Amino acid sequence: MSYANSRIPISAQPDVHAHLVARVRTHLTHPFRKPFADCNRLARDRALAGWDGRAPLILDAGCGVGHSTIELARAFPDHWVIGVDQSEDRLQRRKPYPAALLPANMVFVRADLVDFWRLLADDGLRLARHYILYPNPWPKIGHLGRRWPAHPVFPFIPRLGGVLECRSNWVVYVAEFALALALALGRPVPWSAFEAVRPLTPFERKYRDSGQILYRLCVDLDAAVS
């Protein structure tokens, strides 16, 4: 496939999955007790080793090759920015700057977010900002449970607080994420199409350059409900 020819996810599911609400309600009321893998505990320790314990935290969840993590660290120099991905190969890929020019206020760790999110929450940590940029869409109807909004770990995402932003090129994914969050928060979560004038990630650039519509939700989880 050539570079600017990527396709939006093809799915037989035209709208929010019929089972999503029931799934989210179950996850909100039943504790998720999957044991933690030691490698993810170590990743959590590594992610926080360089943190001074005071700087506001930013999590780039599923950061891929990490370009967004670097941009976020540059944009928020007084924050500690953690880029997490399960793929060591992606994390190791060449960065847009030489190592000497990479910001010092960030760290990349390989971990499974299913554990990593819960470990941060169990530590009582709160995020200032949380980015979930172009998560794997899992567009097949039968793969609902693999999408973050329908995954048992989902309730830990709002629990971490901060300004949460999720972006996707599949409108259904963002609609499902917003609905799941609205159920968790008890308030509506707006989302919309947006223009990626300055793409934050390689996937965003590729989708934009392929002429696709991109979708985003951004919500302050700590905002008081009026």
Ligand X SMILES: C[S@@+](CC[C@H](N)C(=O)[O-])C[C@H]1O[C@@H](n2cnc3c(N)ncnc32)[C@H](O)[C@@H]1O
- Residue numbers at the binding site for ligand X (CB under 6 A): 62-64, 84-87, 90, 112-114, 133-136, 201-204
Closest to 169 in 3D by CA, of 122, 213, 105: 213
User: Six-digit token pair at 207?
Assistant: 């989708």
- Would you say 182 or 210 has its CB closer to ligand X? 210
Cβ neighbours, 10 Å, residue 5: 10
**Count of CB atoms situated within 10 Å of the CB of 153:** 18
Q: Which residue's CB is nearer to ligand X, number 6 or number 13? A: 6
Side-chain-side CA neighbours of residue 76 (13 Å): 18
Closest contact distance (angstroms) between CB of 15 and ligand X is: 22
Query: What pairing do the DSSP bridges indicate for beta strands 163-168 and 80-85?
Result: unpaired
CA 183 to chain CA mean position, Å? 18
Nearer to ligand X, 146 or 187 (CB): 146
Question: At its nearest, how many Å lie between ligand X and the CB of residue 140?
Answer: 16
Specify whether the backbone of 62 is left (phi greater than 0), alpha (psi in -120 to 50) or beta: left
CB-nearer residue toward ligand X: 62 or 149: 62
- Candidates 74, 63, 155; CA nearest to 118 is 155
Q: How far is CA 75 from the centre of its chain?
A: 18
Q: State the nearest-atom distance from the C-beta of 31 to ligand X, in Å.
A: 19
**Which CB sits closer to ligand X, 59 or 189?**
59
CB of 124 to ligand X, least distance (A): 22
Distance CA 130, CA 153 (A): 15
CB 148, CB 123: distance < 8 Å: no
Find the shortest distance in angstroms from Cβ 165 to ligand X: 11
| Smallest gap from residue 74 Cβ to ligand X (A) | 17
Please say which residue, 20 or 200, places its beta carbon nearer to ligand X: 200
Both tokens of residue 88? Answer: 């060591």
